[in-house]
């Protein structure tokens, strides 16, 4: 990633464009993407490198973390 772009901006762009592409291909949606979600909120970035097991654990735990965050939000809006 060129230094003038932040990691979060590039990841956000990639997640947004890929989600639109997936909705178009898999669901046949042509427009009206507002309110549709495909990816979780966070991302993992490493400059020193992570081994495969650490990445798998991160991905595996995302569903649990997303559900917990959603539960916390509904209980304390």
- The domain spans of the chain are 7-75
Residue from 45, 34, 38 nearest 18 by CA: 38
Q: What is the per-residue pLDDT across 41-57, written as a single tens digit (0 to 9) for each?
A: 777 777 676 777 877 88
Alpha carbon distances (Å) from 46 to 10, 18, 20, 57:
14, 21, 26, 15
Judge whether residue 70 has pLDDT over 80: no
Contact 23, 38 (CB under 8 A): yes
Residue from 35, 8, 7, 33 nearest 22 by CA: 33
Of 5, 13, 43, 58, which is the active-site residue? 58
Judge whether residue 5 has pLDDT over 80: yes
Q: What is the per-residue pLDDT across 21-41, written as a single tens digit (0 to 9) for each?
A: 877 777 666 666 566 666 767
Judge whether residue 3 has pLDDT over 70: yes
Residue 77's pLDDT is 60
Q: Respond yes or no: is residue 43 known to be catalytic.
A: no
């Amino acid at each position: 990633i060129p230094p003038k772009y932040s990691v979060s901006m590039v990841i956000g762009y990639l997640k947004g464009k890929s989600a639109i592409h997936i909705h178009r291909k898999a669901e046949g949606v042509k427009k009206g993407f507002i309110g549709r979600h495909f990816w979780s909120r966070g991302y993992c970035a490493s400059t020193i490198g992570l081994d495969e097991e650490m990445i798998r654990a991160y991905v595996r735990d995302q569903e649990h973390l997303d559900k917990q965050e959603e539960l916390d939000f509904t209980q304390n809006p």
